[in-house]
Amino acid sequence: MSDAYSDKVMDHFKNPRNVGVIENADGYGKVGNPTCGDIMEMYIKVEDNKIADAKFRTFGCGAAIATSSMATELIKGKSIEDALTLTNKSVVEALSGLPPIKVHCSVLAEDAIKSAIDDYLKKRDGKGIEGWSPRNHEH
């Protein structure tokens, strides 16, 4: 990775937070981009309507790892409703920016989080996020 990446991106790439799997997760989401090969898996544990823990496994470039790491940090401790407000733009801002060619990684991170929450809501209520479906991630 080069000078095009912020110190925060480099830190989350070299020292990713929340890597791993949550056994018996309350919600699980998996999204991928067949064009570039990035795949993100997100796991959430929910207690009292708050995301008590979030973990990820990402197979992809440094920006994909950094955005996954930051996304989990941004939702931990938040209510389900607050976590649903996470956008790819908020992930990019929290990382102090991404090169334009890597912004798609932040979109994957947003969709991975929402996919995990959607799974949780389907298990809890029998229906997921109203009106939401994962985007087509070919670019």
Catalytic position from the list 40, 91, 95, 105: 105
Can 61 be counted among the known catalytic residues? no
SS3 category, 28: strand
For residue 43, what are the contacts with CB-CB under 8 A and spacing of at least 6? 21, 22, 25, 27, 28, 54, 55, 56, 116
Kind and range of the H or E run holding 104: helix 103-125
Catalytic position from the list 9, 36, 65, 95: 36
| Backbone φ and ψ of 49, nearest 5° | 65, 15
Q: Point out the residues that are catalytic.
A: 36, 105
